[in-house]
Amino acid sequence: MYLESLRLANFKNYPAAQLEFSSEINCILGKNGSGKTNLLDAIFYLSFTKSAAQSQDLQCILHDEPFFSIKGSFNLEEKTRVVLCGLQVGKKKFVKLDDKPYKRASEHVGKFPIVLIAPNDTDVIRGTSEDRRKFFDAIISQVDGHYLQNLIQYNHALKQRNSLLKQFADRNFFDADQLQPYTEKLIELGGEIFSVRQKFLKTFQPLVNAHYANLSEESETIDLQYESHFFEDIRTKFAQNLKKDLILKRTNVGTHKDDFPFLMSDKPIRKFGSQGQQKSYLIALKLANFDYLYQEKGIKPLLLLDDIFDKLDDFRITKLVEMVASETFGQIFVTDARPERTMSIFEELNQEVKMFSIESGEIEELS
Ligand SMILES: Nc1ncnc2c1ncn2[C@@H]1O[C@H](COP(=O)(O)OP(=O)(O)OP(=O)(O)O)[C@@H](O)[C@H]1O
Ligand SMILES: [Mg+2]
């Protein structure tokens, strides 16, 4: 799969833009604030029907304009498929595939898979266990709709159990029979979520390890672990924590507490990894994400690399470029604020490379 062309109207700092891409490598070059990340974000939007950077769609509209639209023509299995998304102030956003609107934008997600590697993504490494759960849940949900439904139902049951705990505390009473059905629901759904996460990690772990070893010349060993209450006897665990639940007025046992510790030489990389090592780990995770989606869906996702060269040494940059330019990957978009660096790296490759230069929302193709 690849993106043939893109048309933007009033998207962030682009009043109007029209681009034709290489099916192999595309470099987006320009100074800080010129619009490189915004361009990748428009491509991201076509796949996920939301921005990677802005949580509110309205913030994607060019300041003081009434609407934005993004149109992308994808080549999917030798057929052109047109995705059109947009938003008008005061109206609901729309997403259309080949002129047909979706009832819900979420039905579109997963059809045109994309993997974005961006610097602020280090949240998954440095952030909380919630950031890591979100990261893995997003990957699994893209290939397993049943898992997503279980997650939604689990969170619903969790909310109900927590609100009951709060009622007990407020009214100063306790009724075990009222709490039990919610506990059972969490045990049942949590058990399913646990076994999917466990199975997923069995496939995912070796992919991450292989990418990290390749990037780092095996200079450090890494490990991706899984921590969950479900490794223990879950009913005993709930019973042991009942007092704590009542005092804190929330549920302290379950898959919503799972974590995925990332280790380097047996120490948490979050605390002890250097910036370059953390970034390398993030890249290994994302490339594994790519492999996994490709394995499960049979479509090569687009790979968007935003500012990833900074903080990597020359060896790692060379390795990364060798890797992404190999047969394994499909279409690639790379941004860089240092055009000379990117040009010298990519010009030597035996691939069709297109370079675009951006200046305050104006795009020019370099030949
Ligand atoms: N809704 C919007 N309307 C107008 N301008 C916007 C909007 N949203 C963002 N911008 C502007 O777009 C500009 C470009 O942002 P972008 O993040 O794409 O730059 P960049 O080229 O990636 O820079 P860097 O090299 O620093 O990463 C910023 O100056 C930002 O203020
Ligand atoms: Mg940027």
Q: What is the pLDDT of residues 3-35, one digit of tens each?
A: 999 999 999 999 999 999 999 999 999 999 999
Q: How far is the CA of 116 from the centre of ligand 2 (A)?
A: 12
The pTM is what? 0.90
What are the residues facing 222 on neighbouring strands?
264
Angle CA 156–160–163, to nearest 5 = 135
Higher pLDDT, 288 or 142: 288
Q: Report percent pLDDT > 90 for the chain.
A: 78
Structure tokens that stand for 192 in this block = 């399913």
Q: What are phi and psi of 74, to 5 degrees?
A: -100, 145
How far apart, in whole angstroms, are the C-alpha atoms of residue 63 and residue 58? 10
Give per-residue pLDDT as tens, 259-302. Answer: 999 999 999 999 999 988 998 899 999 999 999 999 999 999 99
Among protein residues, the one whose CA lies closest to atom 12 of ligand 1: 13
Asked if the model's pLDDT at residue 119 lies above 80, the reply is no
- Whether the predicted pLDDT of 313 surpasses 90: no
Taken in order 321, 21, 335, 44, is the CA torsion positive or negative? Answer: negative
Identity of the highest mean pLDDT range in 66-70, 311-315, 336-340: 66-70
**pLDDT at position 290:** 95
Domains of the chain with CATH codes: 2-113+300-366 (3.40.50.300), 130-257 (1.20.1050.90)
pLDDT over 90 at 187, yes or no: yes
Closest ligand by atom to 34 CA: 1
Task: Please give the pLDDT value at position 145.
Answer: 82
Tens digit of each residue's pLDDT (9 = 90 or more) over 327-340: 889 999 999 999 99
On whether the CB atoms of residues 212 and 222 are closer than 8 A, the answer is: yes
Ligand 2 ion: residues within 5 Å (CB)? 36-37
In terms of DSSP H, where are the helices of the chain? 36-48, 123-126, 129-143, 145-171, 176-216, 234-248, 269-272, 275-297, 314-324, 339-347
Residue nearest to atom 3 of ligand 1 (CA): 62
- Ligand 1 cavity residues, CB under 6 Å: 12-13, 30, 32-38, 59, 61-63, 307, 337
**CB of 37 closer than 8 Å to CB of 52:** no
Contacts of residue 53, Cβ cutoff 8 Å, sequence gap at least 6: 37, 41
Rounded distance between C-alpha atoms, residue 58 and residue 92, angstroms: 10
CA 49 to ligand 2 centroid distance, Å: 20
The C-alpha atoms of residue 208 and residue 223 are separated, in whole angstroms, by: 9
CB neighbourhood size of 335 (10 A): 26
- Which of the listed residues 8, 10, 11, 12 should we mutate to test ligand 1's pocket, taking the one with most ligand atoms within 8 A of CB? 12
Query: What residue has token string 């893109």?
Result: 6
Structure tokens, 304? 């968007």
Any idea which ligand is nearest the CA of 356?
1
Q: Specify the pLDDT at position 120.
A: 63
Query: Tell me: the pLDDT tens digits for 158-172?
Result: 999 999 999 999 999
